[in-house]
Amino acid sequence: MKYILFGLILHLAFSVSANDDKAIVTQASNNFNKKLIALEQVESKCRESAIVLPADTFKSVSLSKEDKITALSYYFIKSTTECSSEAVKELLVASAVLSSLDEAYEVAAINSNKLIINSFKLLLEDEIEFNKIDKATREKLSKIHVLTKPFDPIRSAEVLGIH
């Protein structure tokens, strides 16, 4: 750790040029754009890999129609966010770096981050509803492997008879 800190101090002591600052901002902007494209590609792959849940998905669990909808909603947003989580983390870091280097990017970074953060907010909202289902049932649901993979919620709801 002390070597990293020493290296950082040396780096800061010798980096002073305005041209270097522009180059750093340009590099950070390029990195942000690459991470954004990478996230779009990952999300596209997640959508393409989405399955339709089989009609017997909930056969091992006794659920009301409302609880099935709650579970479906929760596992949909959870599997979707988990599918792209690494790319999201990389984009958020690139966004933070870019906005810290140049105030001109700060508003754009905040707005793009809000879109990402909204998905996590939805997950939290769905998790609150999901946690209202009794614990034993939630544990059984957590063992249904097919719910951990991206799936098409509309077509799955139709197949499950909960549309």
For residue 50, what pLDDT is reported? Answer: 97
Distance CA 72, CA 152 (A): 10
State both tokens at 96: 């933070």
- How sure is the predictor about 10, in pLDDT bands with cuts at 50, 70 and 90? very low
Distance CA 22, CA 17 (A): 9
Domain tally for the chain?
Answer: 1
The 10s digit of each residue's pLDDT in 101-146 is 988 888 888 888 888 899 999 999 999 999 999 999 999 999 999 9
Q: Tell me the residue range of the domain where 29 lies.
A: 19-160
pLDDT higher than threshold 50 for residue 77? yes
- 14, part of any domain: no
pLDDT higher than threshold 90 for residue 150? yes
For residue 158, what pLDDT is reported? Answer: 96
For residue 115, what pLDDT is reported? Answer: 84
Distance CA 15, CA 92 (A): 25
- 6, part of any domain: no
Q: What is the pTM of this model?
A: 0.80
- 10, part of any domain: no
For residue 11, what pLDDT is reported? Answer: 54
**With pLDDT > 90 as the criterion, what percentage of the chain qualifies?**
74
Three-class secondary structure assignment of 30-55:
HHHHHHHHHHHHHHHHHHHCCECCCC
- 154, part of any domain: yes
